[in-house]
Homo-oligomer: A and B are copies of this chain.
Amino acid sequence: MILSEQQLSLIEEFGVYQENNGFQPAVARVMGLLLVSDRAELTFDEISEALSISKSATSNALNMLLNTGNIEYTTFPGDRKRYFRIKSSNWREFFLKRMEDLSYLNGLLKRALDVRKRDNPIYDAKLNDFISFMDYMQNRMPSLIEEWEKSRK
């Protein structure tokens, strides 16, 4: 497989981004490759070779991404290879996961307000502000998604 300079550097940049999201370097590169490659579906060996990573690292990365639902694969009759691709539904899920993560944080902050007996209630007010803001965002999210869907018809 031939990758342009642009593709190679985008794989790296996307890789670093996903490392910051908690993915292992090699795992993040595999996602990057599947994102930018000209063919949407790549085999085990193509991935291993394109990224110069060992078979064990490739195996680990692909199973990781399969387990987390970030990729999937298809097969073709008379061909034992699996063809891996990014799960197309994944993008929307990605956004929703981010929102869920924020409401988990919001839950922690609510509990913090609950357990601490603050000397100075000014700090409580600031935190309450944020909690109410997050609650508001969460409530508005479904209608925002709906509006977007309408807007693009």
Closest approach, in angstroms, between the C-beta of A14 and any C-beta of chain B?
5
Closest approach, in angstroms, between the C-beta of A21 and any C-beta of chain B?
9
- CB pair B133–A38 under 8 Å, yes or no, is no
- CB pair A14–B91 under 8 Å, yes or no, is no
Q: Which residues of chain B are within 8 angstroms of A40 by Cβ–Cβ distance?
A: 118-120, 123
- CB pair A137–B133 under 8 Å, yes or no, is no
- CB pair B38–A91 under 8 Å, yes or no, is no
Stoichiometry, as copies per complex, reads 2
- In the complex, whether A153 has a CB less than 8 A from a CB of chain B is no
- CB pair B108–A14 under 8 Å, yes or no, is yes
Give Cα distance in the complex from A20 to B102, angstroms. 13
Given contacts A92-B130, A123-B88, contact A38 B102 (CB under 8 A): no
Q: Which residues of chain B are within 8 angstroms of A117 by Cβ–Cβ distance?
A: 38
Q: Which residues of chain B are within 8 angstroms of A39 by Cβ–Cβ distance?
A: 118-119
- CB pair A112–B36 under 8 Å, yes or no, is yes
8 interchain residue pairs of minimum CB distance: A91-B130, A88-B126, A6-B115, A40-B123, A136-B148, A38-B117, A35-B112, A36-B112
Give Cα distance in the complex from A112 to B6, angstroms. 9
- In the complex, whether A80 has a CB less than 8 A from a CB of chain B is no
- CB pair A38–B123 under 8 Å, yes or no, is no
Choose among B98, B104, B136 the residue that contacts A102 (Cβ–Cβ < 8 A).
B98
- In the complex, whether A134 has a CB less than 8 A from a CB of chain B is yes
